[in-house]
Structure 1
Amino acid sequence: MKLVTVIIKPFKLEDVREALSNIDINGLTVTEVKGFGRQKGHAELYRGAEYTVNFLPKVKIEVAIVDEQLDDVLATITKAAYTGKIGDGKIFVTPLEHAIRIRTGETDDAAL
């Protein structure tokens, strides 16, 4: 099992969710986060004063999958989140040792 963590631009969330749904990935967790990478941040004007926004709004998506789904999930997310501009995001894949569905007691692959 793998845990896929994705950091993307907020306006791409629905595109990614829909694309994952199309390949039968229906369970995911979404968190609104702030951060920066090479994009660094940007300057904005507020009431005539310029200030720097160091942390940009992003969305973090977490998806637990079985190993066989990994290649399809990565390709799907990459395609759906792509804009071609700096700040498109990152995908992190980590091993997932154990999963339990609380309601039924199912474990590991069956719990996903």
Structure 2
Amino acid sequence: MKKIEAIIRQEKLEELKLALDKDFQISGMTVTQVLGHGNQKGVAEFVRGQKVIPTLLPKIAIWLIVEDTQVEAITDEIIAICHTGEVGDGKIFIYNVEEVIRIRTKERGENAI
């Protein structure tokens, strides 16, 4: 099992959720609003005539636990939907998951996903 963590632009969330549900029947995901920066380092804005450069930008973090066989297809889907070619498109991180336990039923492993 793998954990896919994707940091994406806020405006891509709904399109990505629909695609993952339609193409992969994802049974669950965690979505969090986060602040951060990478190479983008903020975008200059003008507030009351003053130039302001926020150092932390709003993004969306998505966590999915999936079977090993789904990782490549799901990451390809995330890239296809979230890629704009501009700085700030986001990142995808993939981690090994040793165990999953569904608390309600005590199921373990892939059955608990």
Q: Which moved more, 1:46-55 or 1:1-10?
A: 46-55
Q: Percent identity?
A: 42
Q: Distance in 2 between matches of 1:11 and 1:60?
A: 12
Question: Per-residue deviation at 1:2?
Answer: 0.3
Q: Which moved more, 1:77-86 or 1:1-10?
A: 77-86
1:50: which partner in 2?
51
The one-letter code of the counterpart of 1:76 is E
2:12: which partner in 1?
12
RMSD: 1.0
Please tell me whether the aligned partners of residues 7 and 90 of structure 1 are also in contact (alpha carbons under 8 angstroms).
Answer: yes
Matches within 5 A, 1:27-38: 27-38=28-39
Please tell me whether the aligned partners of residues 30 and 59 of structure 1 are also in contact (alpha carbons under 8 angstroms).
Answer: yes
Question: Per-residue deviation at 1:52?
Answer: 1.4
Q: Distance in 2 between matches of 1:79 and 1:53?
A: 28
CA deviation string 1:60-89 (max 9, x = no partner): 000001111111111111111111211111
- Runs of at least 5 residues in structure 2 that lack an aligned partner in the other structure: none
Please tell me whether the aligned partners of residues 20 and 26 of structure 1 are also in contact (alpha carbons under 8 angstroms).
Answer: no
- Runs of 4+ in structure 1 deviating by more than 3 angstroms, as ranges, are none
Q: Which moved more, 1:34-43 or 1:93-102?
A: 34-43
How many residues end up aligned between the 2 structures? 112
